[in-house]
Amino acid sequence: MTTDRFDIVIVGSGPGGYVAAIRAGQLGLKTALIEKDPFQGGTCLHRGCIPTKALLENASRYRDLLEASDFGLSIGDVEIDWSRIQARKEGVVRQLSGGVSGLLKKQKVEVITGWGRVMSPRNVGIYEKTDYGRIGLDKGPVRTISADHIVLATGSVPREIGSVPFDGRRIISSDHVLELETLPESMVIVGAGAVGVEFASIFHRFGTRVTLVEALPRLLPIEDHDVSAELARAFRRQGIDARTDTPLMGASPVEGGVEVTLGSESLTADLVLIAIGRAPVTEGVGLENLRVETNDGYIVIDEYCETGEPGVYAIGDVIPTPWLAHVASMEGVMVVERIAGHDVQPVPYGETPNCTYCEPEVASVGLTEQEAIDQGYAVRVGSFPFLASGRAQIAGHTAGFVKIVAEDRYDEVLGVHIIGHKATELIAEASAVLRLEGTVAELIHTIHAHPTLSESVHEAAHAVYGEAIHY
């Protein structure tokens, strides 16, 4: 068996791995990208971000049609064709996946299908059988490749509750829910993080009776308290049964559905979606052959994503950084540029934008109000409601607000928190402000076009000093 040699080999083709591979190709590095699936793009493109947002868009369009009369439009009966909705979702995924493949080919990245397992600090084996969990790696590699540098980007899988294992039919994961052949009449969603609230929005808008439960005291627990409270109010107005401080005690399939025990109460639903987070894929990738440490299942890295084994890096969901596609991509670019000898800076994790595509949308960057207080800042806060925005009134989406957290001494913006229509687009301005260490005064003196939703960011800056013009 011959061993092919590369400058860099990347294991996993998600938004960390494929972006790293493309950048490596741009920099002239001989690059191999190993992927267990017969397509590139990873969980984000095939089982996460993209298909989920495609369904959210369909659900939003459907709800707009149902409410068309509010805009003086007569539409008639609107029906859901679930098979066509699923087909459109798959079409979007195929097109984007083809685009990724084309970009990799353009940069002369060699894409290898198989399970990649590190055999030594400079060698990776490619195994024909890709389902490590069922069949193991005892047959030996079908190919070996060597490289000066190895990047582990093997991603994550939906986290399971041991006492309520997935069966793929009644007790399902975020992977399974994307493949449903019919719309359920009722659903219990366990976990009110980003995944849980997004699927609650999708299926509620399509007419499913949704019960959303969270063991912690509030929805979206990592967000600002005011945002969590506003989302809870919005969900109640919509008719979503959202419960906090509510643990899942058990779930058992019964005829025609599943019986779910929530605290001391039991109810029956068509299915249960477990959305409590994700677990890193580190089993079977050969960590035992490296000087690599793990902590709670995650690979330990330094500020440049290098492991304890020199020349071996880890990015994305296998390391304890924010589990977000855009973070993995930034890590991938940073690692490859460092390998190429560029002067790089560590990824600024404190400036990571969080985006949740529920209804209303939620987006944030920087410190929450409580985090700023806990870190010892003298805090100033300003908020502006979308109810007072002309553009929000025109769009018919007036729920939510913009909240700015600033520190008093130097006027620096510490965090921006948005809940409302197009929040995930509006957060980009806030990300730039934090990156540039901008102040509230600079935001106030930045001209914002009228009428736009972005004016609400401008008004929230004024509100930090109690001087909002339109509220």
User: Which spans in 207-269 are helix H?
Assistant: 225-238
Q: What is the pLDDT of residues 445-460, one digit of tens each?
A: 999 999 999 999 999 9
CATH 3.50.50.60 assigned to domain 3-157+279-349? The reply is yes
What helix, strand, coil percent values describe the chain, rounded to 5? 35, 25, 40
Q: What is the pLDDT of residues 364-395, one digit of tens each?
A: 999 999 999 999 999 999 999 999 999 999 99
| Range in 9-13, 128-132, 156-160 the model is least confident about | 128-132
Cis check for the bond before 360: say yes or no (omega within 30 of 0). Answer: yes
Q: Which residues are 261's β-sheet partners?
A: 250, 266
The predicted pLDDT at position 263 comes to 82
The predicted pLDDT at position 134 comes to 45
The three-point CA angle 170-245-185 to 5° equals: 30
Identical topology for domains 3-157+279-349 and 360-463: no
- pTM, 2 dp: 0.95
Cβ atoms of 361 and 422 within 8 Å: the answer is yes
The amino acid sitting at 128 is E
Architecture of domain 171-276: 3-Layer(bba) Sandwich (3.50)
Query: For residue 136, what pLDDT band results from cuts at 50, 70 and 90?
Result: low
The predicted pLDDT at position 386 comes to 98
Nearest of 417, 465, 30, 28 to residue 225 by alpha carbon: 417
Query: For residue 135, what pLDDT band results from cuts at 50, 70 and 90?
Result: very low
Does residue 342 carry a catalytic annotation?
A: no
The three-point CA angle 261-265-267 to 5° equals: 65
Q: Is the pLDDT of residue 133 over 70?
A: no
The amino acid sitting at 321 is T
The amino acid sitting at 17 is G
Q: What is the pLDDT of residues 71-84, one digit of tens each?
A: 999 998 999 999 99
Q: Is the pLDDT of residue 129 over 70?
A: no
Which residues have CB under 8 Å from 264's CB, separation 6+? none
Share of the chain above pLDDT 70, in %: 97
Nearest of 42, 32, 41 to residue 122 by alpha carbon: 32
Q: Within its chain, how far is the Cα of 168 from the centroid?
A: 22
Which is catalytic among the residues 342, 445, 450, 470? Answer: 450
Cis check for the bond before 353: say yes or no (omega within 30 of 0). Answer: no
Q: What is the mean pLDDT of residues 43-66?
A: 95
Cβ atoms of 315 and 5 within 8 Å: the answer is no
CA distance 188 to 298: 29
Which pairing describes strands 265-269 and 257-262: parallel, antiparallel, or unpaired?
antiparallel
Query: For residue 140, what pLDDT band results from cuts at 50, 70 and 90?
Result: confident
Q: Is the pLDDT of residue 137 over 80?
A: no
Q: What is the pLDDT of residues 285-327, one digit of tens each?
A: 999 999 999 999 999 999 999 999 999 999 999 999 999 999 9
Q: Which residues are 260's β-sheet partners?
A: 251, 267
Q: What is the mean pLDDT of residues 4-27?
A: 97
The predicted pLDDT at position 149 comes to 98
Q: Where are the domains of the chain?
A: 3-157+279-349, 171-276, 360-463
> What topology does CATH give the domain 360-463?
Enolase-like; domain 1 (3.30.390)
Whole-number mean pLDDT of the chain? 95
Which pairing describes strands 401-407 and 413-419: parallel, antiparallel, or unpaired?
antiparallel
